[in-house]
Every structure is written in structure tokens, then in C-alpha cells.
Amino acid sequence: MGKSLVSAAALGHGPADKRMEILHLVGRHGSISQAARSAGVSYKAAWQAIHTLTNLAGEPLVDSSVGGAGGGGARLTPAGERLLAAAEQLDSARRGVLARVNGAESAALAGPRTSMRNHLRAVVERLESDGARDPMVRVLLGLAGGGTLASIITRESAELLGLAAGLPVLALCKATAVRVHAAEAAAPMGGNRLPGRVLRVSRGVQRDEVVVTLAGDQQLVGFAARPNRLRAGSRADAVLDDSAVVLALTS
């Protein structure tokens, strides 16, 4: 069998991706538990990182059977070694490009390729949970230009992203998860409610696609049930559930 190609999807965003750091630490220490301790994450989070990278790469990256029944050792497979080498080369190339592009527009390079149409710049304000044993974490975000947004993610995901107050992130969500209502309408309670003004309405049969301009000129795409009174320039609220908001690192 020939050598498989390195998956670009598994490379992530270099040093900003905790998953790649954990893979590197597994290779260094020969132990997943030690890699987790060195990375400052739980053992469960370290395994989640390895599983995610393995799914993206399409082949095993870590052999955890080398320690025997009680040894608990682990080592990188040849595919894992190749992935790390590719990640180092990619990170070096990325730093070189960003060093030459010194402008606010370079932030667009950090946007992940995804089917999610909504990418909002934000900063982590705080993390909330019901204690250390709560598997979920509610992340409160301050949107660039004003406004707040909440996202509910797993505790392991928060650890792997290294979320902390002041960290810049991208808040992502599918347009189909955003419900747009006229500002004076009785929108459903709960979740996130972001006020703005309608920029554009594309009429449909049962629902209309609506682009809403939020504070700071950020735009959010969603849908409004028909009939509605939404027009370009009218005030509107965009409503979406906390669980529909996905977080991504910006560098």
C-alpha cells in the first residue's frame, strides 16, 4: 500500500489549534495522559482531540496499544509524524504571508472554509457553568462593534480552544438557524436576540432570506416566515439558540 496523502483538513490553524499541540505532546511523552497534563486539558479532552484529528486525516495518527494491558503508552503512527511535519511547514508559511500583509483585511484569511454563512468577530467575555462536573459551558461573547452573543459548547471543546476572557474568536452559525423578526414583533423568548437593520430581503415562497446589519456593520443572514413586514432599512431582531453558535479561533 502506498503512502497516503496528508489531509489538509486535519492541519487546522497551527499553534492556535490545541489539537495539534496535543498530538505533538503525545509524540514527545509517549503518553496521552502526560500529553493532556502538559497541554493543561483533561484526559477526555485529549482523546477528543486525537479522535477529531483522526477523523479529519482519514487514518490512525496515534497507536495507543504499545504499552500493553497496563502500560498505557502511546506513539505516533507514520501518518501522525507526517501530519506534524506538514503542520510545522504550513505554520511557517502562514506566518510569512501574514507578516507581509499588514492590514485589517488580513483578518479575513483566518476565516475557516465552511458551509456556515455567518462569521461574526467577537471576544470572549466570560465562561459560565454549573460546576467542574458540568459537561457544558456557556460562553458569553462581546461582538465587535457592540452587542453580546452566547454559545453553549462542551467543556472539552472549551479546553481545546483554550477559551478565556479577552480571547478573540469567530462566532459561526448556519443561516437556517437564524430567525428574523420585525423589531416590533413578538419574537420568541430565550436564546440570543440581536437587534439591527435589514440590508436586503430575497423573497421566497414560504420564507424570505434576510440580511441584517448589526452594530459595528457586521452582517447576519437569516430567514423570516411569510408574510412579514420586513423591508430594506427597517429595524429587525435576529434570534438564534445558544446551541447553534459554533466558536472558532481567529489565528
Region 232-242: mean pLDDT is: 95
Whether the pLDDT of residue 179 is over 60: the answer is: yes
234 φ, ψ (degrees, to nearest 5) = -80, 150
Compute how many other C-beta atoms are within 10 angstroms of the C-beta atom of residue 79. 21
The strand pairing partners of 191, in sequence order, are: none
Inter-CA distances, 47 with 23, 43, 187, 219, 233, Å: 10, 6, 41, 36, 49
**pTM, 2 dp:** 0.76
Percent residues over pLDDT 70 in the chain? 80
In this prediction, residue 89 carries a pLDDT of 86
Whether the pLDDT of residue 106 is over 70: the answer is: no
Band of the pLDDT at 189, cuts 50, 70, 90?
low
Instruction: Quote the cell numbers at residue 178.
Output: 437564524
Distance of CA 231 to the CA centre of its chain: 32
DSSP alpha helices (H): ranges in the chain?
Answer: 18-29, 32-39, 43-57, 68-71, 78-100, 155-161
Per residue in 193-206, is it b (16+ CB within 10 Å) or e — as a string? bbebebbebeeeee
In this prediction, residue 113 carries a pLDDT of 67
Tens-digit pLDDT profile for residues 193-225 = 999 999 999 999 999 999 999 998 999 999 999
Instruction: Quote the cell numbers at residue 172.
Output: 459561526
Band of the pLDDT at 241, cuts 50, 70, 90?
very high
